[in-house]
Amino acid sequence: MTEEERWSITVVRAQGLRLMLPDKSWRPVVTLEVDNRATHETILGVDGQNPNLKQGLTLYDLRLSSVLEMKVWHILQGKKNGKNRRLVASSRQTLNELMQSMRIHKAVRSISQYTDVKLTCQSCKTRSTTLPSSKGRPQNGALLTLRVVTPTSPASPVDSQDTQRTLFEDQESSGSCSSSEPTAPPTPPESISDIIEVEPASPVAQSSPVAPNVFRRRRKKHKKHSKGYLMLSDHEHTYDSANYSGDESEGSSAASPSFLRSSQSELESQDPPDNSLFDTPLGSLFDLSSEQCLDTPPEHIPSHTVISTSTTQWFTASLLPQHTLDHSKPPVPPYTETIEVYEPVDLRMSWWERFIATFTMYAEIRDARMDSEFEAIFQRMRMEWTFIGTLLAGLAAVNTTVMSISPDSTIPLSPTALRATASSSIFTGLGIAATAYFILRYSFSPVDVFRSRALDVYSSYFFFAISSRVPTLCMVASAVCLMAFLGLVAFDVWPRGVVAVCFLVGIVMSLQFLVFGFHQLGKGIVGGGKRVVRVSRGVVRKMTGAGNIAPDQGTPASLPQKRDSKAVGTSSFVQ
């Protein structure tokens, strides 16, 4: 085995495992296993660090599909030879996934040969009563840091001649199409690890067959350079083997052929392109191109980027707005929902319907037409029946307790109090029976069955609206009778207290009506006072005016005489 084929995997540290076990200090034991054939065990410190980084798992002749299994164990203190070992966390990855994680770690932290593997924590339940109960909890951020030294050529060797031929196959074909002059053969890259498979350059190029083994030199990830390209060029594309080297320190310029840089220098030496095409509206672009005799788009576009010195421009289909391609959109399904048309309903209600609607749901169920409206009414009534049934069950328990009181008890029971208790018991029993009937008949049926069953013999919902409130009315009557029983029993013991408490509760319950009454009374008093003052002022004015009458004229001196308009007109006519 050579040194180039050696794989070395070393555990550096473990993070996020301290709170998983109740032990204040415990040393994790990490085992590494590759393809169930090679096992390596590492004992970490209390802080999760590996005290000996020189020892690791060394393997040869591995494939990228080999599976690396990592497990973290906890060994109880005082136990030897690995007895009573419990699995704390584990993870399973292939070597290919491990290398991808290393590349991401290198791009983020700029550290090579290191990677963080996320562990899947196990539950902390103990399997026997002899082991101490674990009060820990699994950690979501448990990580295992590994140092992986990969071989220089992990992949299988590839024929260098085939690689060189497939690397520049498309470039040679494009060069022969654009110019009839021979081109210089390019120099192949230094190593196979510097080439990767390339994707099609544009959607237009996908229509032409592209060789599946076409490769290109890899660019560095931390240096991203935008490269523009011009197509439809008549110039020759030459390849300089001296500039096309495998030196990756030159960035993106070294990763591209030399004709890119030469074309850029030629573009700088020429006049700038005419911008008249960009100032033209989009609708006249094709007319302008036909007048200027622009070239048509090529049938084959090479996979590499080409920079040309031509000043003509061509708009590809990928530059057009995507919303204009109506044929690419899936067809919209037709509107299939059916709406039932009902006859107009007279929404006016008579006085007896309005009276029933005050304490029932007659107005809602009368005006409902759609299934969604009946669904809301049905859910509301079912909730009401369930709630009323619970209250009636509580009232039944209270009535049963009262009826079981013996005559020799401390609380005296008058005949009136016993009648109130009996009435409450009767209403409670009837309410429970009615609730059970409605729940059994309507609650477990769909909406359409509920609509059909709620109709009466007159094809209306009037009688159902009344009968559906029977449980509620029975509950109210039972509560009133029970209140009367408690009031009578308490009145025999403490009359003044009963009167005071009832008066206070009555005031609070009818506070809005009392406030409204006092408000109207105050407004009436104020209005009456203003009216009395106004009348008094008129009387005083009349009395004071009568005392100031002139003796010769017989009219008040302070008030001017009003002449009749008709008399004035007659006297002027006589004159």
User: Would you kindly state where each structural domain of the chain is located, as residue ranges?
Assistant: 3-149, 160-319, 351-493
pLDDT over 90, % of the chain: 21
Looking at per-residue pLDDT, the higher value among 468 and 290 belongs to: 468
Q: Which of 115-129, 314-328, 336-350, 534-548 has the highest mean pLDDT?
A: 534-548
Written as six digits, the tokens of 342 are: 């009902």
* Residue 227 pLDDT exceeds 70: no
Q: Which residues contact 423 (CB under 8 A, 6 or more apart)?
A: 477, 478, 481
Task: Give domain 3-149's CATH architecture.
Answer: Sandwich (2.60)
Average pLDDT for residues 437-463, to the nearest whole number?
Answer: 90
CB atoms within 10 A of CB 390: 10
Looking at per-residue pLDDT, the higher value among 508 and 5 belongs to: 508
Do 438 and 385 touch, CB atoms closer than 8 A?
yes
Average pLDDT for residues 447-471, to the nearest whole number?
Answer: 90
Q: How confident is the model at residue 525 (pLDDT cuts 50, 70, 90)?
A: very high
SS3 labels along 193-216: HHEEECCCCCHHHHHCCCCCCCEE
Do 185 and 213 touch, CB atoms closer than 8 A?
no
Q: Can you tell me the distance from the alpha carbon of 153 to that of 438, in angstroms, rounded to the nearest whole number? A: 81
Q: Which residues contact 227 (CB under 8 A, 6 or more apart)?
A: 252, 256, 260, 305, 307
* Residue 71 pLDDT exceeds 80: yes
Instruction: Give tens-digit pLDDT for 464-484.
Output: 999 999 999 999 999 999 999
Written as six digits, the tokens of 103 are: 């590349």
* Residue 321 pLDDT exceeds 90: no
Q: How confident is the model at residue 4 (pLDDT cuts 50, 70, 90)?
A: low
Q: How far apart are the first and last CA of the chain?
A: 154
Q: How confident is the model at residue 199 (pLDDT cuts 50, 70, 90)?
A: very low
Axis crossing angle, helix 511-546 with helix 495-509, rounded to the nearest 10: 70
Do 74 and 57 touch, CB atoms closer than 8 A?
no
Q: Which of 43-52, 211-220, 229-238, 433-442 has the highest mean pLDDT?
A: 433-442
Q: What global pTM score does this model have?
A: 0.36
Q: What is the CA radius of gyration of the chain?
A: 50
* Residue 450 pLDDT exceeds 70: yes
* Residue 206 pLDDT exceeds 50: no
* Residue 375 pLDDT exceeds 80: yes
SS3 labels along 386-399: HHHHHHHHHHHHHH
Q: Can you tell me the distance from the alpha carbon of 154 to that of 144, in angstroms, rounded to the nearest whole number? A: 24
Strand 195-197 to 38-43 pairing: unpaired
Do 447 and 378 touch, CB atoms closer than 8 A?
yes
Nearest Cα neighbor of 64 from 141, 7, 143, 4 is 7
Looking at per-residue pLDDT, the higher value among 367 and 302 belongs to: 367
pLDDT over 70, % of the chain: 54
Q: Can you tell me the distance from the alpha carbon of 115 to that of 144, in angstroms, rounded to the nearest whole number? A: 8
* Residue 145 pLDDT exceeds 80: yes
- The pLDDT assigned to 565 comes to 46
Q: Which residues contact 295 (CB under 8 A, 6 or more apart)?
A: 232, 312, 314
Amino acid, single-letter form, for residue 554 = G
CB atoms within 10 A of CB 402: 21
Instruction: Give tens-digit pLDDT for 383-429.
Output: 999 999 999 999 999 999 888 887 777 777 888 988 999 999 999 99
Looking at per-residue pLDDT, the higher value among 33 and 241 belongs to: 33
Q: How confident is the model at residue 26 (pLDDT cuts 50, 70, 90)?
A: confident
* Residue 183 pLDDT exceeds 50: no
Do 362 and 356 touch, CB atoms closer than 8 A?
yes
* Residue 132 pLDDT exceeds 90: no
Flag the least confident range among 30-34, 111-115, 462-466: 111-115
Cβ neighbourhood burial of 457 (10 Å; 0-12, 13-18, 19+): exposed
Q: Which residues pair with 39 in a beta bridge?
A: 33
Rounded to the nearest integer, the mean pLDDT of the chain is: 69
Q: What is the total residue count of the chain? A: 575
Q: How confident is the model at residue 512 (pLDDT cuts 50, 70, 90)?
A: very high
Question: Kind and range of the H or E element at 34?
Answer: strand 29-34
